[in-house]
């Protein structure tokens, strides 16, 4: 792509990568690392004309989430794919899927650690 001077790389992260949660620290860590990698790759390839998009989905109806209690705003994999394609085509840098997760995660990221650690989420 860099030799052609164009192209788009789409990386699928997760809202879980925005904050380290007690229930799944390894998953949160791996997604946070992916987000940082995609940012570094975006910066590296920017001058070459290659775009790198970071997608941060919430709950998507897949084998990973099926049958789990307490999930909300679950969207179908097909709907997630439609949104992801749209965001990539529009040149988004980072996109939450669905978009309402951006507000939720902004609030969650703003909670001080000493409070967040007591929430058990």
Q: Hey, which residues are catalytic here?
A: 27
CA 39/CA 73 separation, integer angstroms: 27
Residue 27, C-beta contacts closer than 8 angstroms, at least 6 positions apart? 14, 16
Place of tokens 């809202």: 15
Residue 18, C-beta contacts closer than 8 angstroms, at least 6 positions apart? 32, 35, 56, 105, 108, 109
> Distance of CA 55 to CAs 69, 83, 112, 118, Å?
24, 10, 25, 28
Q: Which of 70, 61, 56 is nearest to 23 (CA)?
A: 70
């Amino acid at each position: 792509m860099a030799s052609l001077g164009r192209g788009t790389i789409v990386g699928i992260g997760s809202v879980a990568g925005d904050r380290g949660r007690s229930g799944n620290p390894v998953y949160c860590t791996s997604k946070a690392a992916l987000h940082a990698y995609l940012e570094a790759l975006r910066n590296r390839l920017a001058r070459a004309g290659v775009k790198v998009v970071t997608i941060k989905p919430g709950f998507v109806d897949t084998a990973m989430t099926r049958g789990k209690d307490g999930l909300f705003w679950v969207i179908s994999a097909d709907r997630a794919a439609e949104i992801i394609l749209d965001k990539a085509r529009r040149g988004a840098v980072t996109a939450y899927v669905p978009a309402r997760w951006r507000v939720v995660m902004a609030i969650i990221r703003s909670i001080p650690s000493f409070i967040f650690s007591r929430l058990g989420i």
